[in-house]
């Protein structure tokens, strides 16, 4: 299968995540974590990135990065390569530290989506149960959250956008309210969490369509061997949009209708006829359950007509 094209443009915001090779630890001690943060500072200086949030876990890390210039790929290549070399040299090891490609989801600049992505990153230590009973999120040393709630913070950490998004001033009282707001989210599921864990972008349908148009219009010539997968998805998205409009549905109505809705099945059949997207893609996009269940339904219909 062709590798997905990296979507790059000036001002893009990303949720970036990378795991250790074979899910092994990428940080063996606190010095390794300091080594990674040193590299993060250096890559910020080299690229002009705005680093809005980070969280270093045991075998992976999360970043929320904004690129004033279209240079995510160049910056990540430098960051991962340099950390791998330093880590291996320090521990007298050889080989890969990170597994395959890092994941980079394009995030809508709309305040709700940006805030939820930062929240998701900062809530990671709680979800992983790395905090003792009664400990606040800010007690986790290897997340940018403690810096948000303190006057002392790295010069390379860009905190302004999240403060503006939450409507909180960067004052003692504002930081206190920021902390209380995030503490209240512990144990809860964020609205955008499904996109963060399964998707390729975080945003609404308009944001998705705009990105697909960019892929279609700007990357075809630069990536002649890689554009086909995105062409297929763009074609499928256009069909879904056409069917929604024809039926006078809203995007929310498409999601809320039953998995076995007759009109949903008709849309799924058309996608199978006219595109090469997988049944998994159709099932997820139309909210029709698992790929296996949808495949069974479509097969039964096809057999009954033969």
Residues 111 and 76 in one domain: yes
Q: How far apart are CA 210 and CA 212, in angstroms?
A: 5
Residues 294 and 250 in one domain: yes
% the chain with pLDDT above 70 = 92
pLDDT of residue 224: 44
- Nearest alpha-carbon partner for 26 in 142, 198, 179: 142
Q: Is the pLDDT of residue 3 over 60?
A: no
Residues 233 and 108 in one domain: no
Residues 165 and 273 in one domain: no
Tally of structural domains, the chain: 2
Tokens read off for 278? 């997988």
pLDDT of residue 143: 97
pLDDT tens digits, residue range 240-284? 888 998 998 887 788 789 988 999 999 999 988 877 778 888 988
For residue 208, being part of any structural domain is answered with yes
Residues 31 and 170 in one domain: yes
Q: How far apart are CA 199 and CA 263, in angstroms?
A: 24
Residues 31 and 179 in one domain: yes
| Contact assessment for residue 201 and residue 207, using Cβ atoms and an 8 Å cutoff | yes
Choosing from 191, 219, 245, the residue where a domain stops is 191
Could you tell me where the DSSP H helices lie in the chain? 30-47, 72-91, 111-122, 124-127, 145-148, 160-166, 172-183, 193-198, 205-218, 228-246, 251-256, 262-274, 279-285, 291-305
For residue 1, being part of any structural domain is answered with no
Residues 37 and 138 in one domain: yes
- Nearest alpha-carbon partner for 209 in 279, 283, 108: 108
pLDDT of residue 209: 85
DSSP one-letter string for 66-94: EESSS-HHHHHHHHHHHHHHHHHHHHT--
% the chain with pLDDT above 90 = 57
Q: How far apart are CA 94 and CA 105, in angstroms?
A: 30
The residue with greater pLDDT, 187 or 234, is 187
For residue 146, being part of any structural domain is answered with yes
Residues 145 and 187 in one domain: yes
Domain that holds residue 298: 204-305
For residue 273, being part of any structural domain is answered with yes
Residues 33 and 76 in one domain: yes
Q: Is the pLDDT of residue 153 over 90?
A: yes
- Give the confidence band of 126 by pLDDT, cuts at 50, 70, 90: very high
| Contact assessment for residue 182 and residue 145, using Cβ atoms and an 8 Å cutoff | yes
Assign residue 81 the CATH number of its domain: 3.30.70.1290
Q: Is the pLDDT of residue 223 over 70?
A: no
DSSP conformation class of 219: S
For residue 196, being part of any structural domain is answered with no
Choosing from 158, 191, 224, the residue where a domain stops is 191
Q: How far apart are CA 67 and CA 48, in angstroms?
A: 7
pLDDT of residue 225: 39
For residue 3, being part of any structural domain is answered with no
pLDDT tens digits, residue range 75-104? 999 999 999 999 999 999 989 999 888 999
pLDDT of residue 4: 62
Choosing from 157, 191, 225, the residue where a domain stops is 191
For residue 4, being part of any structural domain is answered with no
Tell me phi and psi for residue 71, to 5 degrees: -140, 35
Query: pTM for the complete prediction?
Result: 0.72
3-state secondary structure of 128: coil
Provide the phi-psi class of 248: left if phi over 0, else alpha when psi is between -120 and 50, else beta: left
Q: Is the pLDDT of residue 293 over 80?
A: yes
- Nearest alpha-carbon partner for 201 in 134, 111, 109: 109
Average pLDDT, the chain: 88
Instruction: Give CA separation, 271 vs 2, 133, 211, 275, 281, in Å.
Output: 21, 50, 20, 5, 10
pLDDT of residue 250: 83
3-state secondary structure of 289: coil
pLDDT of residue 304: 78
Residues 119 and 245 in one domain: no
The alpha carbon of residue 94 and the mean position of all alpha carbons in its chain are separated, in whole angstroms, by: 30
pLDDT of residue 231: 58
| Contact assessment for residue 27 and residue 60, using Cβ atoms and an 8 Å cutoff | no
| Contact assessment for residue 20 and residue 59, using Cβ atoms and an 8 Å cutoff | yes
For residue 5, being part of any structural domain is answered with no
Residues 187 and 231 in one domain: no
| Contact assessment for residue 73 and residue 79, using Cβ atoms and an 8 Å cutoff | no
Q: Is the pLDDT of residue 15 over 50?
A: yes
Q: How far apart are CA 167 and CA 245, in angstroms?
A: 36
Residues 220 and 104 in one domain: no
């Amino acid at each position: 299968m062709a590798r997905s094209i990296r979507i790059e443009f000036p001002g893009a915001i990303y949720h970036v995540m990378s795991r250790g090779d074979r899910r092994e630890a990428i940080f063996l001690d606190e010095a390794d974590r300091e080594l990674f943060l040193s590299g993060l500072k250096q890559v910020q200086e080299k690229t002009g990135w705005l680093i809005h949030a980070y969280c270093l876990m045991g075998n992976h890390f999360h970043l929320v990065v904004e690129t004033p210039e279209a240079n995510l790929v160049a910056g990540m290549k430098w960051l991962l390569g340099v950390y791998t070399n330093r880590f291996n040299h320090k521990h007298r090891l050889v080989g890969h530290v990170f597994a395959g490609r890092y994941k980079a989801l394009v995030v809508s600049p709309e305040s709700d989506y940006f805030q939820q992505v930062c929240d998701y990153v900062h809530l990671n230590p709680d979800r992983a149960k790395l905090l003792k009973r009664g400990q606040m999120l800010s007690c986790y040393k290897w997340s940018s959250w403690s810096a948000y709630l303190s006057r002392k913070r790295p010069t390379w950490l860009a905190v302004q956008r999240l403060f503006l998004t939450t409507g909180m001033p960067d004052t003692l009282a504002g930081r206190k309210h920021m902390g209380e707001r995030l503490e209240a989210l512990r144990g809860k599921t964020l609205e955008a969490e499904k996109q963060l864990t399964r998707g390729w972008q975080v945003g609404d349908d308009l944001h998705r369509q705009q990105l697909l148009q960019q892929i279609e219009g700007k990357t075809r010539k630069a990536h002649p061997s890689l554009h086909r997968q995105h062409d297929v998805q763009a074609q499928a998205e256009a069909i879904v949009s056409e069917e929604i409009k024809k039926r006078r549905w809203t995007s929310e109505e498409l999601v809320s209708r039953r998995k076995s809705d007759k009109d949903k099945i008709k849309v799924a059949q058309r996608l199978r006829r006219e595109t090469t997207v997988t049944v998994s893609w159709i099932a997820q996009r139309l909210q029709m359950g698992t790929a296996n269940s949808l495949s069974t339904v479509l097969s039964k219909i096809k057999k009954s007509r033969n």
